[in-house]
């Protein structure tokens, strides 16, 4: 088997026993990237030379570490010292990170090599990776379709075996939704579980970094390394990090899994619904007890998210004015003119829409009617989940209402695009954790096969249960063995 087809767990075994060297792994990935990248376009940039030098410098002690010699693709929104950081935006063209994000420090300390800048929707705003100044990424299962977003590059590169594993960020679904549409595993940890230091902020009360991988165990291994308190992020949690691998194979017997009626709504693709219901039945056959639950405020999650997230974004993006970061127009008449024209030229239309929306809902006279009310709804959503978790250990839902749609299909209609996240957003609003994993294929698309994802939602800081349920499902089914058409 070619090395690039390896999982993280499989590759580690080979590296630890010296069957392969880290530079051989990089050479294999380079070959793969050269073969498929022209049709996938998952990366904005890859610095092979630096990665190779880092791989060659790894000592035998480094190779004994949990991620020793493993290249990890990084969404172009996290700082890697000396590498470009663009957030797929024109405004950050030419910007080079002066330091490593906390997650990158942790990856390096575990022996990993950050490799490549994965494409994304500009500033992580979007659900299809079409809002990228670098052009869209293509879905490896059907290159005429979107890979999901905003971490579309991270999902596509893992799915197309251009990367062993990747990091993404999830503000409203941006890890889970592309993972579902590309047929890989994606984990959004609990808010505060992973430090946001060195992650370019979109909506600071919602953003969280997490892994995209080929298997559940691989996500557990990455989470183990990146989780934990960091004094440089005020919202980072002091909660101890459990051993995510030790409980992985406990199975689902004795677990209660809730199925919320509000997630099987009008608008869900009938094939997706059938596949999810089959997955739920499968977990029941494995010994889980399936219970009906209700999350009554689900309907308001999308609307309140699209007030809270743009409000925070409008404040966070104020720092991009051409003075401290990236590009600046040369012919500004004065300082205000320079700010305005830099932002006008530098930001794409979705980013501008969010800034205008966010500024509006925060403005005096509208604050109470929109922002404050959305925050109240957020409390109700959080309460729904706490009540539900009184009846079950984890919750099962579809990750997305439909499989991957065609490139260009929703770009003219922001509302249709926003609906792609209808099942993932509430998890961010509640600050809890969610995992998406492959659970079947819809007979749609160019090759008659488009991946569908099952979402498992967990209590705050209970990623271990998500991984346990995910592992039980994954290891008793064959979906993880399927490869996309581009393979």
d(CA 287, CA 268): 27
Question: CA 435 to CA 454: how far, in whole Å?
Answer: 8
Which range binds ligand GLN by CB under 6 A, 67-75, 109-117, 121-129, 159-167? 121-129
Give burial (CB, 10 Å; 0-12/13-18/19+) of 37: middle
Virtual torsion, Cα 296, 298, 301, 302, nearest 10 deg? -140
| Active site (annotated) includes residue 481 | no
* Contact between residue 79 and residue 101 where contact means Cβ atoms under 8 Å apart: yes
Q: Residue from 69, 126, 189, 403 that binds ligand GLN (CB under 6 A)? A: 126
If one asks whether residue 119 binds ligand GLN (CB under 6 A), the answer comes out as no
* 243, two tokens: 């051993």
Q: How far is the CB of 167 from ligand GLN (least distance, A)?
A: 13
Does the active-site annotation cover 436?
no
Whose Cβ is closer to ligand GLN: residue 173's or residue 192's? Answer: 173
* Active-site option among 174, 213, 304, 436: 174
Q: Which is nearer to ligand GLN, 120 or 464 (CB)?
A: 120
Residue numbers 190-219 binding ligand GLN by CB under 6 A: 202
Contact (Cβ atoms closer than 8 angstroms) between residue 396 and residue 280? yes
Helices 463-475, 270-285: axis angle to 10 degrees equals 90
- Residue choice 69, 172, 348, 434 for contact with ligand GLN (CB under 6 A): 172
Q: How far is the CB of 71 from ligand GLN (least distance, A)?
A: 24
Q: 88, 128, 150, 304: which is the annotated catalytic residue?
A: 150
Contact residue for ligand GLN among 89, 139, 150, 402 (CB under 6 A): 150
Q: Minimal distance in Å, beta carbon 178 to ligand GLN? A: 9
User: 97 an active-site residue?
Assistant: no
- From 233, 237, 169, 205, select the one nearest 460 (Cα to Cα): 237
Query: How many chain residues interact with ligand GLN (CB under 6 A)?
Result: 13
From the number of C-beta atoms within 10 Å of its C-beta (0-12, 13-18, 19+), residue 269 rates as: middle
Distance separating alpha carbons of residues 169 and 95, to the nearest angstrom: 20
Minimum CB separation of residue 150 from ligand GLN in Å reads 4
Of 168-176, 217-225, 262-270, 474-482, the window that binds ligand GLN (rule: CB under 6 A) is 168-176
Do the Cβ atoms of 52 and 46 come closer than 8 Å? Answer: no
Phi and psi angles of residue 179, each rounded to the nearest 5 degrees, phi first: -60, -45
Cα gap 399→177, rounded to integer Å: 6
Q: What is the Cα–Cα distance from 10 to 48, expressed in whole angstroms?
A: 23
Q: Can you tell me the distance from the alpha carbon of 151 to that of 128, in angstroms, rounded to the nearest whole number?
A: 9
* Residue 124 touches ligand GLN, criterion: CB under 6 A: yes
Cβ distance to ligand GLN smaller for residue 125 or 163: 125
The answer to whether 309 contacts ligand GLN (rule: CB under 6 A) is: yes
Rounded to whole angstroms, what are the CA distances from 391 to 43, 374, 378? 43, 27, 21
Q: According to CB under 6 A, which residues from 414 to 443 bind ligand GLN?
A: 421
Residue 139 touching ligand GLN (CB under 6 A): no
In sequence order, what are the residues at sequence separation of 6 or more whose Cβ sits closer than 8 angstroms to the Cβ of residue 82? 50, 96, 97
**Any contact of residue 125 with ligand GLN (CB under 6 A)?**
yes
In the complex, the smallest distance separating the C-beta of residue 210 from ligand GLN, rounded to whole angstroms, is: 11
Provide the minimum distance between the beta carbon of 174 and ligand GLN in the complex, in angstroms, as a whole number. 3
Site for ligand GLN in 327-346 (CB under 6 A): none
Residue 167 is a binding residue for ligand GLN (CB under 6 A): no
Which span sits near ligand GLN by CB under 6 A: 108-116, 123-131, 153-161, 386-394?
123-131
Cα distance between residue 189 and residue 176, in whole Å = 11
| Residue 120: CB minimum distance to ligand GLN, A | 8
Q: H or E element: which one contains 464? A: helix 463-475
Tell me the two tokens of residue 98. Answer: 């002066």
Stretch that binds ligand GLN, among 81-89, 102-110, 170-178, 232-240 (CB under 6 A): 170-178
Q: Which residues bind ligand GLN (CB under 6 A)?
A: 124-127, 150, 170-174, 202, 309, 421
Q: Catalytic residues, which ones?
A: 75, 150, 174
């Amino acid at each position: 088997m070619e090395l690039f087809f390896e999982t993280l767990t499989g590759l580690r075994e080979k590296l630890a026993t010296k069957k392969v060297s880290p530079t051989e792994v990089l050479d294999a990935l380079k070959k793969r990237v050269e073969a498929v990248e022209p049709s996938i376009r998952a990366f904005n940039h890859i610095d092979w030379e630096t990665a190779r030098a880092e791989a060659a410098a790894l000592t035998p002690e480094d190779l004994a570490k949990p991620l020793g010699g493993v290249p990890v693709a990084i969404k172009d929104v996290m700082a890697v010292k000396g590498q470009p950081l663009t957030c797929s935006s024109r405004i950050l063209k030419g910007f080079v990170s002066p330091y490593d994000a906390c997650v990158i420090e942790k990856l390096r300390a575990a022996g990993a090599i950050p490799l490549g800048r994965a494409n994304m929707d500009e500033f992580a705003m979007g659900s299809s990776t079409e809002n990228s100044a670098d052009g869209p990424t293509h879905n490896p299962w059907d290159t005429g379709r979107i890979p999901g977003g905003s971490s579309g590059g991270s999902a596509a590169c893992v799915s197309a075996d251009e990367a062993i594993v990747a990091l993404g960020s999830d503000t409203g679904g941006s890890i889970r939704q592309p993972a579902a549409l590309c047929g890989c595993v994606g984990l959004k940890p609990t808010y505060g579980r992973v430090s946001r230091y060195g992650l370019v902020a979109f909506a600071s009360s919602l953003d969280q970094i997490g892994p995209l991988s080929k298997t559940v165990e691989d996500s557990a291994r990455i989470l183990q390394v990146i989780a934990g308190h960091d004094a440089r992020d005020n919202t980072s949690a002091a909660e101890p990090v459990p051993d995510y691998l030790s409980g992985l194979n406990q199975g689902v017997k004795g677990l209660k899994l809730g199925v919320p009626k509000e997630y099987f709504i009008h608008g869900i693709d009938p094939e997706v619904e059938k596949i999810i219901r089959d997955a739920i039945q499968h977990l029941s056959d494995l010994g889980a007890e399936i219970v009906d639950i209700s999350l009554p405020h689900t309907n308001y999650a999308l609307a309140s998210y699209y007030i809270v997230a743009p409000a925070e974004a409008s404040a966070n993006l104020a720092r991009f004015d051409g003075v401290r970061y990236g590009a600046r127009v040369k012919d500004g008449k004065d300082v205000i003119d320079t700010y305005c024209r830099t932002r006008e030229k530098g930001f794409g239309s979705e980013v501008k829409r969010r800034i205008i929306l966010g500024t509006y809902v925060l403005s005096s006279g509208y604050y109470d009617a929109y922002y404050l009310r959305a925050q109240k709804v957020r409390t109700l959503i959080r309460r729904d989940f706490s009540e539900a978790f009184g009846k079950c250990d984890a919750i099962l839902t579809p990750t997305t209402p439909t499989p991957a749609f065609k490139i260009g299909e929703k770009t003219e209609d922001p509302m249709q695009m926003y609906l792609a996240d209808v099942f993932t957003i509430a998890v961010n609003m509640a600050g809890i954790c969610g995992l998406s994993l492959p659970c079947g294929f819809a007979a749609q698309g160019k090759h008659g096969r488009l991946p569908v994802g099952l979402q498992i939602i967990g209590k705050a800081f209970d990623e271990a249960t998500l991984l346990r349920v995910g592992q039980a499902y994954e290891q008793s089914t064959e979906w993880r063995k399927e490869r996309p058409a581009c393979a």
